[in-house]
Chains A and B, each alone.
Chain A
Amino acid sequence: MMSRLWIGDFGIVNMRAVFSFPFLFLVLSLVVFSFPYFVYGFFVGLDLWWGFRLWVGLMGFGHYMFLLLQIAYYACRLPLVYVAAGGVVFLLFFLSMTAPGLVVLALVGFFAAVALALLFGVRSGVFHYSWLVAVVWIFLWNLVGGVLSIPARLIFGAGEMWLWWEQPPAHPAYALAVGAAGAASTSILGRSKTLVKRICQAPTAGADVPC
């Protein structure tokens, strides 16, 4: 079953190039993740304060969706309830910038993002219905992603000063690189048959989905 997924991310069916859904998720995650960093200037140009908060909200939403789509790469399905949960994360980030004391909501939002993504992975069976396995997966995923993003970090990430009225908190290219590293990390983990066997699996229900 797994081999069907991991042989290639797209196949030729009836002489027509078809991208597999998991691969689409993987690629989409990049876009979702780095989108806020590219549109920052536009939103702030519309109205500084409103645009800024909107952007912070988008950023939270993007981060959440990124994690979610990484899991979805294995799960090969995206239940709407988990997408809707992203609204909560988005709202927490958004609200965190409305009053000084609410900054802590950004922290809460971060935990919510990670927890919801893992919950999704566990519930859908990607992590063998085990939280322990989920944690091990995210550790490995972060480790590989970290190694992959080292060059980008050296080029864009060091010594930056964030003038928040002028630019996003990171170079959009750096955001893109980190996102790519995360996606590549997911892909790499997925290519190890041993790992997939022990850690990740496509849900049984997914077998019926024409991925």
Chain B
Amino acid sequence: MAVLRLAAYLLAAALMTALARATIEPPPDVVAVFVETDFEIPPLAYYDGREFRPVHVAYVGEWDMAYWVEANATVRIPTWNFKKAVIYLPREALNAKTPPDARGGILRIYLNQTAVELVEAPPEVVATYSYHKPDEVKAPKARAEWIKPPTKKPLDKEDRQSSSHQPLGKEESLHQTSTQSTTVVFPSGAFIYQQYTGWINADGEVCLNVLMPDSSIFILLRNPTVAAVGYNATYVWRTAWYVYTSSYGVGVVVGRGVVKAWAVDPATLDKKTLLGQWAVDLRNGYVTYTSSIPLRWPDQFVGVELCFVPYYSASYVVGANATLGFRKNAIPAAGGTYFLGISPVDRSQNVGGVVQHYILKPPVRNLVFGPFSLADGYYGETLSIDMTVYVPWGTPPCPTLTVATYAGEFGHVHLDSASFSASSYNNGLCRYEVQRSVTLSPDAVGLWYDEARARDKAVTIKVSFSHPASELIIYRADISGRRFAENYIDKNNSQRWRSLVLRGFFSQTLRACTTASLPQVNYTAALINIATYSVVWADILAVGVSGGYVVKGVRFRVKPAVAFEGVNSVYVKGDEFGESWRSTWVYEFKESWWTAWAFKLFQAVKTVLDFFGLISGPLSWFINRVFDLRDLTKPDMTISLDTGYVEWRAGIFDKFYQVAFEIDGYTRDRVIEIVDVRVGTDSTHLCMSSPLTSPIPAVVTRDPLFDLQYLRHWVFGMRVTYDVPFVDR
């Protein structure tokens, strides 16, 4: 009988899921065609008789094998050669012809009875593009040919130093040498806008709030949607948009994103006049990028607003960010080296057993580091790679090994290529010493930021060899450079920093908790961000998770364990555990009065029976199990004073997107080790792959020269006052 009921339950659940997934497709306003050309496809536009209008290009990738260093596994990754793309042609563009005076390449696409001519998008056209994985392409293939070859490369493969719309090109030399603290440099900065979730009526405009620290002291009551760019912004290098609604199919244009530049009052941020606006069509379920929006008002205090206007009434999730080019001053104290996931050693410090040594069977051409996030405000970044590579080769002489590095969400943006000669040949293996430092341009810095924060994604570094490698010794893979404080704060903050915020910000891809299956880079399901920082009186560990997952449990410890002795206590999200500690949770599970009442009454009865020793046998066992079930609905935390381990789990009905632990006490010589973070949904359950360790710096606040202002530059776009900062989702 129970089996029958189970089967009925399963059937009902499957039916409901199927119903929920049924979507309504609006009449298609575009024709999607898949084209493959000889040249790399740049941003494209069509001529409607009066002006050039952009078409959306979605580059189509191919699968390739890579060795994922951190996971110690071979995985499939998508790569893009930019010669294959799905082009979304508006119906009105179907008979478009190129005007005779058009510059740049011309791509002719042959459809059934007609041909469409597309031109390389002129600089004034705001082009949009996105990326398709190989399996995602459903558009029919069309023949296409370049009747005039393109002059430029695709957006992400552009050589920015020589690009025609590179406003910073002139100052590039300044940037390259800007290692002094007082030198003015020109990095890209970025603003993230708060994700909007909810119902929007057709043509109803929703402007996204600028993401800012969650501080009760620091709330802009007016115009929270305007990002104060100030006087010295020069252009919007890139905006990244993400829109999703379950009511329409993926890939359908569901609305437009509008970038607005306002002249604003520097004191109040009140909008004065609209200086300019640019609209881009947004496709459901895609990240859409735009580029090349100039901000040419040096005498105006500029504010940037990002708004979404849907074409259909539905419930939407909208997120966006904007990366800008502008002037800033660097802070020398904020330099550092950041390892890419693993922490290899310098070759000079190479001692047995310390370096990362990998045997690759079968040999692979690609290495993947990450994914990880590097937050806002970097410049002068150098990617350093030092490794020994063995390539199987029949007979000498060994071939030249070309090593290319890529960055980006999918490791798709080309950074650098270099060739290496073999240093020796032995036993059918060519040995190469691959040592390379790549300085990342300011725009690549902006890319870090975009990729990492748009839709909570991360950055991957891909190292590609021209021949498959069978053995690797990695001595070093890191990024070094300097950081900036978050732009908004610099411009609008008149108050001093009251808290120290230091240490690390890590991102980790989670994997299935059982060792049986490994997730793949191309199926990245969830990324957790772990921030460890210190305030004057305590250390804080904050754990956030993306992609709709919820935090189910955290296990960490403080070394040495004696740190917990005495009056130290652990707080969860600012409230002491055990008292009113549920009051500030993101999601609160409230028990109905009758449920609580029933359990309380029964608990009282059982207590009395226990007291008289009347109920201690198998029956008591049953009852305890029933109460165990109820305990599961509440979060639980245990602290081991012996080992320093703190174990926290959420209640089964809780939905915590972020949790934080505040550990009181002295901040000297302590290390926080995050052993495990577990996240889950109703059906999946993921764990952290490897423990992270974050040392707690010794900060001498008694030093008379000590200035808290400097320490804010360790912050990754986050400011802390007395509250633990949390960002709304």
Contacts and interface: CB of A to CB of B under 8 A. Distances in A.
B682 A49 contact: yes
A113 interface: yes
B545 to A, nearest CB: 15
B629 A84 contact: no
B233 to A, nearest CB: 48
Contact of B630 (A103, A164, A165): A103
Contacts of A91: 2, 5
A110 B628 CA distance: 13
A interface majority secondary structure: helix
Interface in A144-186: 144-149, 161-165, 169-170, 178-179, 181-182, 185
Contact of B617 (A57, A59, A86, A147): A147
Contacts of A165: 513, 552-553, 649, 678, 685
Contacts of A99: 653
Contacts of A178: 618, 621
Contact of A146 (B552, B617, B632): B617
Contact of A161 (B594, B618, B619, B647): B647
A84 B4 CA distance: 12
Interface in A54-79: 54, 56-57, 59, 61, 63, 66
A100 B617 contact: no
Contacts of B615: 142, 146
Given A48-B683, A90-B2, A161-B647, A106 B618 contact: no
A26 interface: no
Interface in A35-53: 45, 47-50, 52
A195 interface: no
A145 B599 contact: no
A107 interface: yes
A59 B683 contact: no
A104 interface: yes
A200 interface: no
B391 to A, nearest CB: 40
Contact of A101 (B552, B595, B619): B595
A87 interface: yes
B622 A103 contact: no
Interface string B597-629: 011001000000000001111111111011011
A162 B617 contact: no
A23 interface: no
Contacts of A148: 617
A145 B630 CA distance: 25
A56 B629 contact: yes
Contacts of A103: 591, 595, 599, 629-630, 633
Interface in A106-135: 106-107, 109-110, 113-114
A169 B682 contact: no
Nearest to A144: B617
A187 B681 CA distance: 46
B602 to A, nearest CB: 6
B680 A182 contact: no
Contacts of B631: 162
B618 A185 contact: yes
Contact of A106 (B5, B589, B630, B649): B630
Contact of A149 (B594, B617, B623): B617
Interface string B78-95: 000000000000000000
Contacts of B625: 59, 63, 169-170
A113 B619 contact: no
Interface residues of A, number: 55
B719 to A, nearest CB: 35
Given A59-B625, A103-B633, A163 B617 contact: no
Candidate in B595, B622, B653 with the most chain A CB atoms within 10 angstroms: B622
Contacts of A162: 628, 631-632
Interface in B630-649: 630-633, 636, 638, 647, 649
B514 interface: yes
B617 A182 contact: yes
Contacts of B589: 100
Contacts of B5: 87, 91
Interface in B663-685: 678, 680-685
B538 interface: no
Contacts of B653: 99-100
A24 interface: no
Contacts of B618: 66, 141-142, 145-146, 149, 178-179, 181-182, 185
B614 A139 contact: yes
Given A103-B629, A110-B626, A164-B649, A138 B619 contact: yes
B632 A48 contact: no
Interface in B197-225: none
B683 A96 contact: no
A95 to B, nearest CB: 10
A106 B629 contact: yes
17 contacts: A54-B6, A59-B625, A61-B2, A63-B622, A90-B2, A97-B652, A100-B589, A101-B592, A103-B599, A142-B617, A148-B617, A162-B631, A163-B553, A164-B649, A165-B553, A165-B685, A178-B618
Q: List 8 tightest A-B contacts by C-beta distance, closest first.
A: A146-B617, A145-B617, A142-B617, A146-B616, A182-B618, A48-B685, A145-B618, A142-B619
Given A101-B595, A163-B553, 13 more contacts: A59-B625, A96-B629, A100-B590, A104-B598, A110-B622, A138-B619, A144-B617, A146-B617, A146-B618, A164-B649, A165-B552, A169-B628, A185-B617
